[in-house]
Amino acid sequence: MSAESMPEPIPQTGAQEPGRGGRGRRRKPRSTGRKALLATAWTAAGVLVLGGAGAGYLYFKLNGNLHSVDINQVLGKDRPTKIDNGSENILVLGSDTRAGTNKKLGGGTDDGSARSDTAMIVHVYEGHKKASVVSIPRDTLVDRPACTDTKGTTHPAASAVMFNEAYSTGGAACAVKSVEALTGIRMDHYLEVDFAGFQKLIDDLGGVPVTTTRAIADPQSHLDLKAGTHTLDGQQALGLVRTRHGVGDGSDLGRIQLQQAFVKALLGQVKNVGVFSDPKKLYDLADTATKAVTTDSDLGSVNSLVNFADGLKGIDARHMTMVTMPVQYDPANPNRVLLEKSKARLVWDALKNDRPIPASAKGTASGEAGGVVSG
C-alpha cells in the first residue's frame, strides 16, 4: 500500500459459521467486550492543538486529567538505540480495564484487570508530513522478553504466548519492551486509550460519517448497519471497530482492517468539525480526550501534548499508510497467527531507515475483510 492510498468501502462477506474450515481461518468465536480504538489517543493530541489548550483554569483542569507512565525509567538502558533521523515511533494501545464504565460497555467482571487488544506502531516520517501505521494482531504468538512493571515487579520471559499477554502481565512497560524486542526499534512515545473514552469522544465530535457497501449485522458487537452512508455515534463506532463476525472471516485480522479505515475517517472528522468557532465543543473534546489517554512521562502534560500534536497536524489521511504486521495462520491452531519474519524484517528496516513500507511486505493471512470503510 502506498502512502497515497485511500481506504475502500467495506465489503460484507457475512458471519463466519461455527466450525467453518479452510485455509486456516479462525473458527473460535470470542467475546467482543474487550476492544478500544487507539484513534482516540491520536485525536487527543489533535484536539488539543486546535485551540492551544487554553490557559488558567482550562490548563490546570486538562492537565489534571492526564495519567502518565515513566517508561524510560522502568526500562532503563536495555533498549534499542534511538534513531536520530527526524522521525518518531509511537506505540499506541487500546486497553480495557474491565472496571467502571468499561465494564458496562464490555461486559465481564469488575475485577480491575487490564487487557490490550489493539496495538499500532505509528511511524512519523522526517518532516512530519506523512506517517505509516503498523497494526500488530493481538493473537500473534511471540517470545515475550523478561520485563519489570512500574511497581518494580519482574516478570520472567515466556515463549509462544499471545502478543497482548505482555500488557496483561506487566502493563505499559512490558508492552513497550515486547514491541521493541519484536521490532528492534525504540519507541519514542507511548499512548494508551480506553474504549469508554473512545465512545464518548465520538459522541462529543457529533459522530463520524462512514459508508458501507453492504449491510453489517453483528449482535455480539450490537451493530446493525444497512448499506449506505451513516453518521456513527459512539456506540455504533465502538461496534464497528469491535465487530469480528459481521465482516470477513471472523478473525482479528479482519477487524484490524476496519479499525485502520475508521482511524482515517475519524482524523478527517476532527479536521472538519470546526471547533475553532465553538469554544465549548473544543473544551468538551479536550476534556474527554485527556481523560481517555495514558501517556509516557515525556507527554504527561498539556504543554507536552500540544507540542507533540503541533508536529503531527500536517498529516492527513491521504498521507497515511496503514498496514498489518506480516503474519501467517498457525498450522497448529487457526485461532493464532505467526510472524512472517522475512517480510516483517522489510517493515522494520523501512521504519528504521525512514523509508516507505514496501508493497512486498504483506503477510499471507489477510482476514478477508477486503477493502474496508470509506469516510
Burial class (CB in 10 A: 0-12, 13-18, 19+), 170: buried
Q: Which fold has domain 39-205+248-352?
A: Aminopeptidase (3.40.630)
Residue 359 host element (H or E) = none
Residue pointed to by grid coordinates 451513516: 230
pLDDT digits (tens, 9 = 90+) for 153-174: 999 999 999 999 999 999 999 9
Res. 226 pLDDT band, cuts 50 70 90: confident
Share of the chain above pLDDT 70, in %: 72
Helix axes 39-51, 302-310, angle to 10 degrees: 90
Residue ranges covered by each domain of the chain:
39-205+248-352
pLDDT digits (tens, 9 = 90+) for 326-367: 999 999 998 899 999 999 999 999 999 999 999 999 887 765
- Rounded CA-CA distance 339/178 in Å is 14
Q: Note the pLDDT of residue 330.
A: 92
Q: Note the pLDDT of residue 187.
A: 97
Helices (H), 187-278: 195-205, 234-242, 252-272
Amino acid at 164: N
Amino acid at 208: V
C-alpha closest to that of 172 among 283, 259, 71, 300: 71
CA distances for 41 relative to 24, 51, 94, 201, 287, angstroms = 33, 17, 9, 10, 13
Average pLDDT, the chain: 77
Amino acid at 84: D
- Rounded CA-CA distance 212/243 in Å is 14
Q: Tell me, what DSSP letter sits at residue 169?
A: H
Q: Tell me, what DSSP letter sits at residue 38?
A: T
- In sequence order, which residues have a C-beta less than 8 Å from that of residue 39 and are 6 or more positions away? 198, 259, 262, 263, 266, 267
CB 68 within 8 A of CB 300: yes
pLDDT digits (tens, 9 = 90+) for 95-119: 765 444 444 444 333 334 456 668 9
Other C-beta atoms lying within 10 Å of the C-beta of residue 129: 13
Res. 368 pLDDT band, cuts 50 70 90: low
- Rounded CA-CA distance 123/120 in Å is 10
Residue 167 host element (H or E) = helix 165-183
Query: CA neighbours within 13 Å on the CB side: how many for 289?
Result: 30
First to last CA, the chain: 18
Kindly state the cell numbers that stand for 7. Answer: 481506504
